[in-house]
Amino acid sequence: MILARKVRLFPTSLQEKQMWKSAGTKRWVYNWVLEKQQKNYNTGGKFVKSNDLRKELTQLKKTDSYKWLNEVSNNVAKQAVKDACNAYLRFFKGIAEKPVYKSRKNSVISFYNDNVKLKVKKNEVLLEKVGWVKIKEDIPLNCRYTKPTVSHDGKYWYLSVGIEVKSNKVELTGKTLGIDVGIEKLAVCSNELVFRNINKTKKVKKLEKKLHRLQRKVSNKYEKNKKGASYQKTNNIKKLEKQIKLVYRRLNGIRKNHLHQATNKIVKTKPSRVVMETLNIQGMMKNKYLSKAIQQQNLYELKRQIQYKCEFNGIKFIEADKWYPSSKTCSKCGNVKKNLSLSERTYICEECGYKINRDLNAAINLSRYSA
């Protein structure tokens, strides 16, 4: 099994400059490929293969106007071409939405490093055309590394790399654990284990308030510096935007940490099976009243973490059928309610009169689910 390892990098000023060049090149090449594919698509042409685009890019590098593309590793551009082509293929297959251009302001700052050329030694890693960079934690030596990616989170540089590890041998209890996820609570388990919504805590609410205040300040400054139809970005605006990025970074860190703590606790109960409801995230996001709360819960990330942690520990992970009525079914007598509104937080059975928390009732029913 391949598990990701993420370590912080400590580059020198020259190395950091080279990293920014690599990230910028990756963004430019990705947009260049999208433009080529879009023009070809509009004129009725066929999909351009990544190999043909890479050959064209190689010829482009030889011209005087694009010699700067040679200043970074050729694997950066090569992977950017591959990523853009894969994004278009996923769009044509109906798996994902149409890919959009990566903006300098909002896109994720990252670039690929060839796994063969990645060298690791104690407290240092060798990155292509960057050199030996110091790291905070040690990466296992003499391992097979997959998809090394260097990224910037608005404050620090990180290296993420996949490392092949052996699955963990755990003695399981033989029980089945049902997990019902939602907005009121992050997750409710059939063994009565409950995980709170981290977004309702004082710490997160305080950061959200700070974020809104900074966003209002930036908006007001843009309006004051507006000249005609264009907006002028001053140094004060840049400072505020950097503060906003750092608040987003902090919020993201708190939410991810909470998810890891919750999923670790679930796996440590050592069930033989874990059953989770199938989540239609795209459909749920269409609800304008709940879309923000759903987005903040990171429900897809919760499912992804539970899935890989179950696989690592030899636990069977099952997703219940989309139409399985886990919330509407009485966990005592099996009666199915025809109508159950979101406001009904306590399930009251119409047949036997059994009363139980709505989410716990759903979790118990999921634990009894058989594929």
According to DSSP, residue 48 is labeled: P
> CA gyration radius for the chain?
25
Per-residue pLDDT of the chain (371 residues), as tens digits, is: 888 999 999 999 999 999 999 999 999 999 999 999 988 888 887 888 999 999 999 999 999 999 999 999 999 999 999 999 999 899 888 888 889 999 988 889 999 999 999 999 989 999 999 999 999 888 888 888 999 999 999 899 999 999 988 888 888 999 999 999 988 999 999 999 999 999 999 999 999 999 999 999 999 999 998 888 888 889 999 999 999 999 999 999 999 999 999 999 999 999 999 999 887 787 888 888 888 988 999 999 999 999 999 999 999 999 998 889 999 999 999 899 888 888 888 999 988 889 999 999 999 999 999 86
Q: What is the DSSP string of 261-287?
A: HHHHHHHTT--SEEEEPPP-HHHHTT-
Full residue range of the structural domain in which residue 138 is found: 2-164
Residues present in the chain in total: 371
Decide if 358 is inside a domain: no
DSSP-derived 3-state class of residue 4? strand
What residues have CB less than 8 Å from 200, skipping those under 6 apart?
A: none
Asked if residue 198 and residue 141 are part of one domain, the reply reads no
> 260, 299, 271: which is closest to 366 by C-alpha?
271
pTM: predicted TM-score of the whole model, two decimal places: 0.86
DSSP secondary structure, 219-248, as one string: HHHHHHTEETTEE---HHHHHHHHHHHHHH
Structural domain contains residue 272: yes
Predicted pLDDT at 111: 97
Residue 212 falls inside a structural domain: yes
What pLDDT score does 306 carry? 95
Q: What are phi and psi of 128, to 5 degrees?
A: -60, 130
State how far the Cα of 271 lies from the Cα of 175, in Å rounded to an integer: 5
The partner residues of 136 in beta bridges, in order of sequence, read none
The tally of domains found in the chain comes to 2
Question: What is the structure's pLDDT at 371?
Answer: 67
Q: What is the DSSP secondary-structure string of 81-148?
A: HHHHHHHHHHHHTTSSPPP-PPPTTTS-EEEE--TTT-EEETTEEEETTTEEEEESSPPPSS--EEEE
Co-location of 232 and 281 in the same domain: yes
C-alpha to C-alpha distance for 264 and 136, rounded to whole angstroms: 24
What is the distance between the alpha carbons of residues 263 and 112, in angstroms, rounded to a whole number? 29
Identify whether residues 49 and 183 lie together within a single domain. Answer: no
Residues 63 and 190 placed together within one structural domain of the fold: no
Asked whether residue 242 is assigned to any structural domain, the reply reads yes
